Amino acid sequence: MTDRLLVIVEDDEAFAKTLKRSFERRGYMVLTADSHAALERVLAGNRPGFAVVDLKLGAESGLVCVRTLHAHDPAMVIVVLTGFASIATAVEAIKLGASNYLAKPSNTDDIEAAFARSAGDPSTPLAPRPTSIKTLEWEHIHEVLKDSDFNISEAARRLGMHRRTLARKLAKRQVG
C-alpha cells in the first residue's frame, strides 16, 4: 500500500478532475475510475491506501465498488460521497467496508477530514430529536428509486404518485 495513493471512483468527469487536482496539490498520487470495470483495472496494478467513491455511477451502484475496494485491501480508508444520502445506503456502505459517508456537496477538506476520522467515535452525541417526516419520506423515496434502478416513472408507480409529483420532490432536494 502506498501511503498517499488515492483512487477516485466518480463518473462525473469534471468533478473527478477537480478532486484529482485538489488532492494532488495536497501531496496525494491520484488514480481515477469512472465505473466498477475501470476500478478493477486500476486495482490490478495498484494498492491505494485511500478511496473516494460516488454512490451513483450512472446506472451502477458505487456500493459494488466499496465491496471490491474493501476486498482488495481491508485496511483501505474508503469514503463514500453521495447526492442520494439515506440511512439505508449509509448503513450498507459501512457494512461493505466504507470508513465514512458524506453527503454532497463535500469538498477536499471534508473528505480529508473523513479520512482522518476512519475510526468510530463512541462519544458522538445521540440525535436530540427523532427523524423528521420529511427525512423519512426522502429516505423512502430514495430506497424506491434505488430499487427501480433510478427510473423515475417506475419509482413513481411504486410510490403511488404521479411522475411529475415525484420529479418536483426530487428537484426540491438536490440529487446528484
Domain extent listing, the chain: 2-116, 133-172
pLDDT above 90 as % of the chain: 41
Q: Looking only at Cα atoms, what is the longest distance across the chain?
A: 51
Q: Let me know: does 9 contact 62? Beta carbons within 8 Å.
A: yes
Domain 133-172 has CATH 3.40.50.720: no
The model's confidence at residue 43, banded by pLDDT at 50, 70 and 90, is very high
- Chain mean pLDDT for the chain: 85
Name the band, by pLDDT with cuts 50, 70 and 90, for residue 1. Answer: very low
Band (pLDDT 50/70/90 cuts) for residue 67 is: very high
CA 18 to chain centre: 17
Residue appearing with cell numbers 428537484: 171
The pLDDT of residue 174 is above 60: no
Query: How far is the C-alpha of 23 from the C-alpha of 43, rounded, in Å?
Result: 19
pLDDT tens, position by position, 115-173: 887 666 556 565 665 666 777 777 788 788 888 888 889 989 998 999 898 888 887 76
User: Regarding the domain with residue range 2-116, which homologous superfamily does it belong to in the CATH classification?
Assistant: Response regulator (3.40.50.2300)
Q: What is the pLDDT of residue 120?
A: 60
Report pTM. 0.69
Do the beta carbons of residue 86 and residue 138 sit within 8 Å?
yes
